[in-house]
Amino acid sequence: MDFNTDEHFYGINKSLYYKNEEQKNEIKKMDPEYLTRTGTDFVLLPNSPEFINHNEPFEPMYIPKQTILEESLRREIERICFADTLLNKVVFDCTDPSPFTKDIDPAIYGLEVLPFYLPQSKEDSTLVFESRFESGNLRRAIQICDYEYNLILKPDYYTTMNTQWFYFSLSNTRKDVEYRFNIINMMKPDSLYNSGMKPLMYSEQGAKQKKIGWFRDGHEICYYQNNMKRKNGGFYYTLTFAVKFQHDFDCVYIAHCYPYTFTHLCRYLKQLESDPAKKNRVKRKQLCQTIAGNMCDFLIIGDFNNGKEKKGIIITSRVHPGETMASYVMEYMIDFLTGNTHEARILRENFIFKIVPMLNIDGVVNGNYRCNLAGVDLNRQWIDPNKKQHPTIYHTKQLVKKTKEERDLVLFCDIHGHSRKKNIFMYGCSGKDPNRKELVFPMLNRNNCSVFSFKDCCFLLQKDREGSARIALWRELSIINCYTLEMSFCGADFGKYEYFHFNLDIYKEIAQSFCLSIIDCYEPEQIKVKQVMEEIEQNSLKNQQKDDKNNSGDEGSDYSNDDPKEQAMPQQQIQLQNNDQQLGSQTKKLKKIPLLPPKKKKGQ
């Protein structure tokens, strides 16, 4: 097999490692300020992966075996007891030089950069890992057996934490062989992977031959505490899963959620501006530059007639880089608001929308999960953002203030993903309106969206979240309808999509339902608002009659998702619930079980 002529050598995506003339010409045409830069010593590959536009089908969640935790712990103990028999071969590192290819000139193969590892022959079945593309996250891959690998994720830059987002490729696969992957430096004490969630995967050969895009795969999935101690106390956690690939010599991408890069956003905004039907409905403006020098833009959407009389709405997203579903929902919102439907025209005629699609661009480019390049969570900086360290938050807050001075700012929403809960829900703020009007908009979303769960909404003012956009802007600017929209990384636990993974179709429904709820909330007759206000009043009376201390802190406990069309829960769903409870209790017990014997003191 000739590396110079084959586009995929042992499945390696050759196009990642060099730019052809067409790609170079495309870069020259782009405005320099929109070229992605990292701001770190981490160097990206010449290209990032391209994926076909194919909507993933509705895929059921994985049903964990009741013994999966015990089996995972047994394998963990075996790896510890028989450590001398493991290969422990580092086959990928995203920053360290490769001992396998460091003396090879990439130009020999017509490339600008080489993979960390190159197979020695067709009999060499070692996987070839890669994550040095935009938004990629895999620090190191260690081969411990022929078909088993320990994986280490990069923490967010200038932190030692927030290892949750992963996105990498592997090549040189073998068909129908069971591979096992152990991501061994996870941080959170629990995960939706114990509740039926599967990783996302994308096969280059599957896309080419069968037009299959991203899909869910994996079995024997378990998330548990391992034996590695953290410097600041506690232990790391492992996400383990097995998979059988469908093709020999394939290139497969594995991700925590659908990737959405800054380059993807720039291309989308450029298409939006050049669309003759939409360009007069939207204006693209520069907000500021990030720490790394990337340009952060915002959009203004409306019909631009009698602007001062219109109410203002501000929507932001992607303050946390790893919550990629926020960008998809934002894109679908923009599509809806700039579209040709009757509802879209009503919204443009009555509102001015100001939208910041990506607040943490540097984090997105570098594959961070939560923080920016200053190593801070930008959604805790809204009280007093620093112009140099938190430029996008500083300038977005100025945009919010200016908008409130110009017009009636009726709604602010920041879009997020949620890593531990299922469903779609909102967080708001209570205390300034005796009529509890902050409940109205979430309840309208519940009525319009099949996966929106009002019982999961929360309107408490948590002290550790006072620096979030939701609480800081509510307090300082008295915006009653000040929310975060939260979407599960996994799926729903009620309704027609119960125990199915969320996909792009669901994200589109969420976006459209959000926009329709704005119409319901502010239409002149207020028919639907009056209905939910009556429901709020009735439930308030019920709460007053109840003297149940267990419900005193749950402000949404009496607002349900009751649907008369719901069917009885199938046995499969009951089994999932039982497994959720069992895994949760077993994980708690695990914290008390050391996997390594205590070290003997000197002299003993």
Catalytic residues: 486
Nearest to 587 by CA among 315, 237, 293, 350: 237
Angle at alpha carbon of residue 357, lines to 355 and 359, rounded to 5°: 110
Give the whole-angstrom CA distance, residue 595 versus residue 598. 9
Nearest to 320 by CA among 165, 150, 496: 165
Strands 148-152 and 178-186: parallel
Residue 61 DSSP class: P
Give the whole-angstrom CA distance, residue 475 versus residue 483. 12
Angstrom distances, CA of residue 304 to CA of 278, 298, 341, 579: 13, 16, 17, 54
Q: Which residues share a beta bridge with 411?
A: 313
Give the whole-angstrom CA distance, residue 130 versus residue 121. 19
Helix (H) or strand (E) holding 599: none
* CB within 8 Å of 220: residues ≥ 6 apart: 65, 68, 71, 72, 180, 240, 241, 242
Angstrom distances, CA of residue 352 to CA of 169, 311, 359, 471, 498: 42, 6, 20, 23, 36
Beta strand residue intervals within 322-362, DSSP E: 351-356
> Would you give the end-to-end CA distance of the chain in angstroms?
59
Give the whole-angstrom CA distance, residue 527 versus residue 521. 9
Q: In 3-state terms, what secondary structure has residue 547?
A: coil
Give the whole-angstrom CA distance, residue 162 versus residue 364. 14
Angle at alpha carbon of residue 251, lines to 164 and 224, rounded to 5°: 30
